[in-house]
Structure 1
């Protein structure tokens, strides 16, 4: 059955009329309750809508600023890096030596410090920083290292790739067989610059069973190696 076009238009007209009537009644009621004129009410609703938009925009801007500040703080936060100067100096030192002339030994090398975490001693301890040989721990061109004296007697000079020259001056309860402990000034240095590695080390000179502060100082004053010294001591 087809509805006449005139009837459809009549229904639409009635719908529009009732909607307008409802809106007029709504405005009239609100105006009566709030003592606002229809024009005042229109202005109030427009302002309300605009205020909401303003608040939304302000909230968005604040959020962006907050995220930007957080990103800036993260960017400017202090970062910890391994000293590239030390790594580069050791690499250059290694390139200047013909390691093939020395016998090699495979070892497991770890890092240690003079601190409580490695030795059980605090700075107040009278033997803090003093090795088994009696010399003080040192990180230099020739650094103090710990070894099993049955394998490497005191005073033995090793070249450890990635670390440099090490002079056996210390021992350790867990340093048995093919194990070495390499001295670093801080725990961060141990973790960032070394950790634990299995590698070949080179026996530059076998020790006599002793090493003194004077011996160590003379080694570190080798004029041909001074170009590397300041970087390694950082």
Structure 2
């Protein structure tokens, strides 16, 4: 008897929890359901306008539930914005293991001060840039000028420069300041992916066109984090 009572108790708890969940999700109560059944089975006793009003009330509640679900889905999508790296299928590109360091246009990396006539100008002739497509330095025998690489953790890099110590499987990634070099990069050995091999030339117009790619503008804010 005691075991049976316990079973009944837990069954009642389950039914109560089920009703509570059903009521919260659908916004319908037992009273609403009873009234709906009564309206269906006793439609002959209701005039047309009364029946229509009751059905409209229930339809509105159902619509509110649908709208709430849509808002939830929309909110979830907004919160789950992809990263640039997640948006690319890197398996379709050839990869190379490289040792990548960071550099700036300043005297600590290039020996040039802002007063130097060639300050901030790369070997290709374009100005250094940190953007959706940033200027990087590479060994031109491996990666010709204009080669587009995807560098995990950094983004797209376009080969625009060279360096005395940049030989073989080495890259130098441009950052605007020394602090950013140390805080965001330092030195890493990673696999980079060849998106497009360069022709040996790169212009400011080429670089600007890459950075104005509309499909990538959603990721621009990530560059500022």
The alpha-carbon deviation at position 211 of structure 1 amounts to 0.5
The alpha-carbon deviation at position 229 of structure 1 amounts to 1.5
Gaps of 5+ in 1: 1-88
Task: Say whether 1:109 aligns with 2:114.
Answer: no
CA deviations on 1:79-129 (whole Å, 9 max, x unpaired) are xxxxxxxxxx9x800000000000000000000000000000000001000
Query: What is the TM-score with the length of structure 2 in the denominator?
Result: 0.63
Query: What is the TM-score with the length of structure 1 in the denominator?
Result: 0.61
Q: Tell me how large the CA RMSD over aligned residues is.
A: 1.6
Note if contact 1:155-1:210 (Cα within 8 Å) is conserved in structure 2.
yes
Measure, in 1, the Cα distance between the counterparts of 2:126 and 2:211.
14
Residue 152 of structure 1, aligned match among 143, 157, 162: 143
In structure 2, what is the equivalent of residue 143 of structure 1?
Answer: 134
Measure, in 2, the Cα distance between the counterparts of 1:120 and 1:129.
11
Gaps of 5+ in 2: 1-80
Residue 194 of structure 1, aligned match among 185, 202, 208: 185
Change (3 A) 1:168 1:233: farther
The alpha-carbon deviation at position 230 of structure 1 amounts to 3.4
Bigger Rg, which one: 1
The alpha-carbon deviation at position 233 of structure 1 amounts to 5.0
SS at match of 2:83: helix
Q: How many residue pairs get matched?
A: 146
Note if contact 1:147-1:180 (Cα within 8 Å) is conserved in structure 2.
yes
Residues 85-234 of structure 1: matches in 2 within 5 Å?
Answer: 92-233=83-224
SS at match of 2:150: strand
CA deviations on 1:24-75 (whole Å, 9 max, x unpaired) are xxxxxxxxxxxxxxxxxxxxxxxxxxxxxxxxxxxxxxxxxxxxxxxxxxxx
